[in-house]
Amino acid sequence: MSAATPRRPIDLAVVTAREKEDVVVGNEIIRHNRSSRLIHWTVAVFFFLCLLTGMPIWSPVFGWMAYLFGGLTVCRILHPWFGVAFFLASGAMFFQWLLDMRLEPSERAWLGPKLFEYMRYQTDDSDVGKYNGGQKLLFWAVSLAAVGLFLSGLVMWFPMAFPLWLREFSFLLHNVTFILFVVAIVFHIYLGTAAEPGTFGSMTRGTVTRNWARLHHPRWYREVTGDKASRG
Amino acid sequence: MSVQGLDIRRSSASVVGSLSGLRVVPTVSKYIDTSTCIGCKACEAACVEWNDTGRIQTEQTGSYQTLPTLHAQFWNLIRFNEKEFDGGIIWLMRKDQCMHCDEPGCLAACPAPGAIVQYANGIVDVNPDQCIGCGYCETGCPFDVPRFHPTTGKMAKCTLCVDRVSVGLEPACIKACPTGCLQFGTKDDMVALGNARVAQLKANGFAQAALYNPDGVHGTGVVTVLAHGDHPDWYNLPTNPHVPWGVKFWKRVLRPLGVAAVFGAVIGAFAHYTKYGRKEVKGADSRDANLPDA
């Protein structure tokens, strides 16, 4: 034990992040408390289970995924149940995060050019609160998709209980929703890891640094710290 | 029932079948003449016997018909259709079974590689060992033929007795037919036979007689002579059968687009990283509170 590395018996930020959100601990700000992170990862785990069991049924290009579960028949049996779990978890996440995710009128533009400006790192973020317009849009898109995937999935689970037109419609809805979902999630993961350093910790440890908050979510930073002078 | 040694023209969820290219076999077909069917059900019994599909409870529906519809253990059903026509009743018997379409909707809808195959001779068959029991084939079929076995969850339907045909025998139903209204041979021969019979019917006062071999599925491996050819629906046949548009659009357009989109998104994220890099936090950034703020 060298003296240069003093032991820290308690990591105050981690302990605080179990219950609280939007509070400052030293140089860190708690962004997601434990229940918030738990519901996120529950949704994520069931999403990937659905993805890995569904894609080999979707296209033989992804047939190799079926071997992770013991074959295509196992996937066919498991996929609907993973889907039900994903839907329930998404529902819980929806109600847990709903209050923070209400779109403000100024954020509507995120549906169009602003999303691309953001991807070019060109947006003026000075008025961005805890979630930016893109994050809110993803929340609504994912929630809507969860409903669409669940309803169409029910029809595909018990096809012969439904009329032909509804079966055809459900096949198409399940496909389109899934394709858009995957594209969105690829960028969600990319932005949360490689593209924006410091972000992933908000979903593991639950915290971000002050500087991270000032860069990405300045209004939230001001609200949390009470620092009125600071502009992003 | 998968038969070893038969070339496969098409296979579900696969890019190609397994045609060797060496063997040249003709497309085969059944011939059904509904105008000479006497409704004896010998074909039903022969089908059950040869294919060992076991006995299931029949259902009394107010006619001679054995069951209301096809069943996983009953692949050949004579439908007894009654129709008021020309001041009287006509009794239209039709052999309901897999039509062995040239463009099989079941095969198009099937997501399990090799679970549904079309042999080089045109017979459409199911491989139960590959079948995952999803039921999509029932949606793909324009003739409402595939059925799921209640306990195994596997799809089952008429195999056109591929095990008999592959060794040079005629299907069991054909062999049992006492009137000759069922025949078996090459598709060309059966179409010629059908056309000849249609001409005969027309000469005998059935001006609307026709051979049912619908173009919507590129023709079927079961050609049916209908005395009232202008009304296939009277025989419980679809007037213009085709693979459902939703299934076609899903498999031919959405799926390839979707696969491209999935890979495209991943490539796009990489491309973004090379062009725009990271959105770095300004200044020194650490969880450690002792470091000065930027």
| pLDDT winner (highest mean) among A8-22, A105-119, A191-205 | A191-205
Burial A156-168 (b: 16+ CB within 10 A, else e): bbebeeeeeeebb
Work out the average pLDDT over A85-95.
98
Quote the crossing angle between the two packed helices A133-157 and A72-97, to the nearest 10°: 140
**Nearest-CA neighbor of A31 among A126, A106, A98, A129?**
A129
Three-state SS for B138-155 is HHHCCCCCCEECCCCCCE
Q: Which chain B residues in 256-275 lie under 8 Å from chain A, judged by CB atoms?
A: 257-259, 261-262, 264-266, 268-269, 272-273
CB-CB neighbors (< 8 A) of A212 in chain B: 281, 285
Out of B136, B250, B285, whose CB is closest to A209?
A: B285
**pLDDT above 90 covers what percent of chain A?**
80
CA B110 centroid distance within chain: 10
Q: Is the pLDDT of residue A21 over 60?
A: yes
Please provide the distance, in angstroms rounded to a whole number, between the alpha carbons at the two ends of chain A: 41
**Nearest-CA neighbor of B100 among B81, B75, B72?**
B75
Quick one: pLDDT at residue B4? Answer: 66
Work out the average pLDDT over A79-95.
98
Quick one: pLDDT at residue A232? Answer: 42
Distance in angstroms (rounded) separating the CA atoms of residues B218 and A214: 65
**pLDDT above 70 covers what percent of chain A?**
94
CB-CB neighbors (< 8 A) of A168 in chain B: 139, 244-247, 250
How distant, in Å, are the alpha carbons of A99, B99, B167, B168 from that of B28? 66, 12, 13, 11
A220 band by pLDDT with thresholds 50, 70 and 90: very high
Quick one: pLDDT at residue A126? Answer: 84
Contacts of B202 (CB under 8 A, 6+ apart): B209
pLDDT in tens, chain B (294 residues): 566 678 889 999 987 777 777 778 899 999 999 999 999 999 999 999 999 999 999 999 899 999 999 999 999 999 999 999 989 999 999 999 999 999 999 999 999 999 999 999 999 999 999 999 999 999 999 999 999 987 888 999 999 999 999 999 999 999 999 999 999 999 999 999 999 999 999 999 999 999 999 999 999 999 999 999 999 999 999 999 999 999 999 999 999 999 999 999 999 999 999 999 999 887 777 787 655 444
Distance in angstroms (rounded) separating the CA atoms of residues A61 and A55: 9
Q: What share of chain B is helix, strand, coil (3-state, %, to 5)?
A: 30, 20, 50
The ipTM value here is 0.90
Give the best residue of A5, A51, A72, A216 to mutate against chain B (max B CB count within 10 A): A72
CB-CB neighbors (< 8 A) of A216 in chain B: 279
Contacts of A35 (CB under 8 A, 6+ apart): A96
Quick one: pLDDT at residue A96? Answer: 96
Answer whether A198 sits within 8 Å of B285, measured CB to CB. yes
Answer whether B254 sits within 8 Å of A176, measured CB to CB. yes
Distance in angstroms (rounded) separating the CA atoms of residues B125 and B12: 11
Lowest mean pLDDT among A77-86, A125-134, B154-163: A125-134
Answer whether B273 sits within 8 Å of A167, measured CB to CB. no
Quick one: pLDDT at residue B294? Answer: 43
Nearest chain A residue to B291 by CA: give it. Answer: A27
Cβ atoms within 10 Å, residue B26: 13
Quick one: pLDDT at residue B290? Answer: 54
Work out the average pLDDT over A168-174.
97
Out of B254, B261, B291, whose CB is closest to A172?
A: B254
Cβ atoms within 10 Å, residue A70: 11
Q: Which residue has the higher pLDDT, B171 or A4?
A: B171
Which residue segments constitute the domains of chain A, with CATH numbers given?
Answer: 32-98 (no CATH), 102-195 (1.20.950.20)
Quick one: pLDDT at residue A32? Answer: 96
How distant, in Å, are the alpha carbons of A144, B36, B64, B225 from that of B92? 51, 10, 12, 12
